[in-house]
Amino acid sequence: MRVFELTLDKAPLIAELMARLVPECWGDYDSTLKMITAPDKIGWYMGENAETPKGFLYIKEYECYSCAEIENYGYDDNGMFAAREKIAVLYDKAEQYALEKGLRIIRTIFGSTNMSCHGKKVTDYIEELSTLKSTSKGYEYMLSRGYKLAGFLPNCYGMNEHGIMILKNLCE
């Protein structure tokens, strides 16, 4: 597979892919197109050619924090949403881009329902982070890439559905 830059003229292809893969997360075609064409988004997609994307990933830069945030990603695995190893080349591209821009951190918010904190009210965030467990292959994959648990966003996906911030220090 080849990697291509996500440009304004190719954004409709990615919006269609996103709307098809997980419409309940990203919304319909119009809302995904608006999301990925915002001026602060930088992204890439992969496919056999530039007209048939199979996977995508885009980030947002936070220069003031020397950080890039992976905002969305996905892969069409025969009509099913996938990520992890399937888009490793896109994770590599985002990390390389961040390094070249002089950013020191890349992060993402992980929202897997396979985390021990989901479904319960959390009031002591430090305690919850110290005992957090997961059976998610996606979370384990990100840890294998050098990402580490860094924070907690309570209720960001709904009541008692929490966001877990993981990050990779690109200076190590």
Burial class, 37, CB count within 10 angstroms (exposed 0-12 / middle 13-18 / buried 19+): middle
CATH number, residue 87: 3.40.630.30
Burial class, 19, CB count within 10 angstroms (exposed 0-12 / middle 13-18 / buried 19+): middle
* CA distances, 116 to each of 104, 123, 166 (Å): 29, 14, 15
Question: 148-151: long-range contacts (C-beta < 8 A, 24 or more apart)?
Answer: 150/107
Of 70, 87, 103, the last residue of a domain is 103
119 and 146 in a single domain? The answer is yes
Q: How is 8-43 classified by DSSP, letter by letter?
A: TTTHHHHHHHHHHH-HHHH-SHHHHHHHHTSTTEEE
45 and 95 in a single domain? The answer is yes
pLDDT recorded at residue 48: 96
Q: Are residues 86 and 77 in contact, defined by beta-carbon separation less than 8 angstroms?
A: yes
Of 103, 137, 164, the last residue of a domain is 103
pLDDT recorded at residue 17: 94
> Total structural domains in the chain?
2
pLDDT recorded at residue 137: 86
**Domain range spanning residue 166?**
109-172
17 and 90 in a single domain? The answer is yes
Q: How is 69-125 classified by DSSP, letter by letter?
A: EEEEEEEEETTEEE-GGGGHHHHHHHHHHHHHTT--EEEEEE--TTBTTTTS----H
Q: At what angle do helices 11-21 and 29-36 cross, to 10 degrees?
A: 130
pLDDT recorded at residue 133: 82
- Give every residue of the chain whose pLDDT is below 50, as ranges: none
90 and 5 in a single domain? The answer is yes
Of 71, 103, 135, the last residue of a domain is 103
82 and 131 in a single domain? The answer is no
Give per-residue pLDDT as tens, 6-48.
999 999 999 999 998 887 778 889 999 999 999 999 999 999 9
12 and 87 in a single domain? The answer is yes
Burial 134-168 (b: 16+ CB within 10 A, else e): bebeebeebeeeebebeebebeeeeeeebbbbbbb
81 and 130 in a single domain? The answer is no
pLDDT recorded at residue 60: 96
80 and 140 in a single domain? The answer is no
97 and 114 in a single domain? The answer is no
113 and 138 in a single domain? The answer is yes
90 and 121 in a single domain? The answer is no
7 and 75 in a single domain? The answer is yes
